[in-house]
Amino acid sequence: QKEVEQNSGPLSVPEGAIASLNCTYSDRGSQSFFWYRQYSGKSPELIMSIYSNGDKEDGRFTAQLNKASQYVSLLIRDSQPSDSATYLCAVRSSSGSARQLTFGSGTQLTVLP
C-alpha cells in the first residue's frame, strides 16, 4: 500500500509568519509531487508541483523535495488569513498498473489576523 502521510494539524500561525507544511511518502521510486489547497466545501486547487530534489519557488510559496528522505514540504511566506485552508500533498506513484495520484489526509492551516 503506497502511503502519503501528513500532520493533520490544525496548524495555526500569525499573519505575516512562515507556515511550514510537511509530507512523507512510502514509495521510494515516486517521481512527481504536488501540493493542493482546499477551502472548506470546495474542490482542491493546484498550488505547486515539484519533480527534482531541492527548492522550487512560486511567489510566496516554496516547495522542497528530498527524495532520499522521502520528504516533501511546502513553505508559505508572509502568511495571510486567505491562506487558511486544508493543504493536500499528492504523490504520483512510480510503478504498477495505476501510477495513480495518492493523497495525504491534509493539514488544516489557520492564519490568525
**Contact status: 100 vs another protein (CB under 8 A):** yes
- Closest Cα partner for 80 from 31, 38, 19, 20? 19
Give the pairing of strands 85-92 and 107-112.
antiparallel
Alpha carbon 98 to chain centroid, angstroms: 21
CB 19 within 8 A of CB 109: yes
Of 21 and 88, CB closest to another protein: 88
CB of 100 to another protein, least distance (A): 5
**Contact status: 63 vs another protein (CB under 8 A):** no
Burial class (CB in 10 A: 0-12, 13-18, 19+), 113: exposed
Site string for another protein, 42-61 (x = CB under 8 A): xxxxx--x-x----------
Q: Which of 19, 24, 27, 34 binds another protein (CB under 8 A)?
A: 34
Q: Which residues bind another protein (CB under 8 A)?
A: 4, 8, 31-32, 34, 42-46, 49, 51, 88, 90, 92, 97-106
